[in-house]
């Protein structure tokens, strides 16, 4: 019954996410103005035509799905010989590699950092533990990337670290992507451990002579694992949001950077946001991101179901 509820919630969430994505991507760009006569004078003034706005809005959505139905494709791109599907195949695997590495690194090092923070909460090392966790959570992500760029530019071979030509070009972006999620997991792990601290079964374990490491590994972390698994989709969303920002700032040739270009993010002139966007490509990348989070949701549901059955 609980699994059915979770499945229903997940289905509704995916549908709402798709609807919101479609409405956002195909939102009419530019102003829709016309001559609207004033009631008591012969003159006219420029006014916003709401009916024209919604007409264009509807037309954008209908034409896009008609094209999908007729051509079995999400459409073309700014390159005449390149389809959306080719761009997705070219760019998304590169970003997926960063996402996967950032996700795994965040969980592993986040849990280890959380245990360290927990064990040193009431010691002088707390500044190094919870202090650094709080610091990195307080600093904006883009500021961390800027600092990394500064250090790389003046003290490290920047061309070797951030160049797209090297086979290890994913390493630096993946590391930057994982910083904030790692601190998020560390904070969550530490809080979960502190909530269990002092409970009867913990005191009993210490009374039996178990060391702190044994108590944490055998008892506390086993219960904290449920909290961690429940937050896996949230961690993935944090990783993806960081990936979009990091790819743009580092120039990494992945889905995030390409999507920014598709949204008209690299223009030579300053305008009012009326330039055309590659709507099909943006929608394709959005589907990939939603599918990635959906897979993590499904994994979370399976793991929680198995753990609850073992507990029963």
Say which CATH superfamily domain 88-311 falls into: MetI-like (1.10.3720.10)
The CA distances from residue 259 to 95, 238, 285, in Å, are 11, 18, 7
pTM greater than 0.85 (yes/no): no
CA atoms within 13 A on the CB side of 298: 8
Taking only the tens place, the pLDDT of each residue in 218-268 is 667 777 788 889 899 999 999 999 998 888 888 888 998 899 888 877 544
- d(Cα 198, Cα 122) in Å, to the nearest integer? 14
Q: What percent of the chain has pLDDT over 70?
A: 83
What residue ranges do the domains of the chain occupy? Answer: 1-23+50-71, 88-311
Taking only the tens place, the pLDDT of each residue in 175-210 is 989 988 999 999 988 888 888 776 777 777 767 777
The CA distances from residue 157 to 136, 248, 251, in Å, are 25, 20, 16
Taking only the tens place, the pLDDT of each residue in 93-104 is 999 999 999 999
Q: What are phi and psi of 166, to 5 degrees?
A: -85, 150
- Nearest C-alpha neighbor of 115 from the set 125, 104, 100: 125
């Amino acid at each position: 019954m609980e699994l059915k509820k979770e499945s229903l919630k997940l289905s509704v969430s995916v549908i709402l996410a798709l609807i919101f994505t479609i409405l956002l991507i195909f939102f009419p760009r530019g102003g829709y103005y016309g001559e609207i006569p004033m009631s008591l004078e012969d003159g006219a003034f420029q006014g916003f035509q709401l009916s024209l706005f919604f007409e264009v809005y509807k037309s954008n959505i209908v034409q896009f799905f008609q094209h999908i139905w007729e051509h079995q494709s999400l459409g073309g791109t700014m390159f005449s010989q390149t389809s959306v599907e080719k761009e997705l195949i070219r760019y998304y695997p590169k970003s997926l590699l960063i996402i996967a590495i950032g996700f795994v690194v965040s969980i592993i090092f986040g849990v280890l950092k959380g245990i360290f923070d927990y064990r040193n909460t009431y010691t002088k090392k707390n500044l190094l533990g919870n202090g650094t966790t709080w610091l990195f959570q307080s600093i904006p992500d883009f500021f961390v990337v800027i600092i990394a760029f500064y250090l790389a530019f003046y003290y490290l071979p920047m061309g070797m670290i951030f160049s797209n030509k090297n086979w290890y070009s994913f390493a630096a972006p993946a590391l930057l992507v994982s910083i904030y999620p790692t601190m998020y997991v560390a904070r969550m792990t530490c809080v979960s451990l502190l909530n269990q601290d002092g409970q009867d079964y913990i005191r009993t374990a210490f009374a039996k002579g178990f060391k702190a490491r044994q108590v944490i590994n055998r008892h506390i972390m086993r219960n904290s694992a449920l909290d961690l698994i429940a937050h896996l989709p949230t961690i993935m969303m944090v990783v993806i949001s960081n990936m979009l920002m990091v790819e743009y700032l580092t120039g990494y040739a992945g889905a995030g950077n390409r999507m920014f270009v598709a949204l008209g993010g690299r223009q030579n002139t300053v305008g009012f946001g009326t330039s055309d966007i590659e709507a099909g490509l943006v929608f394709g990348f959005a589907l990939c991101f939603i599918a990635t989070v959906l897979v993590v949701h499904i994994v979370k549901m399976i793991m929680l179901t198995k753990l609850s059955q073992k507990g029963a």
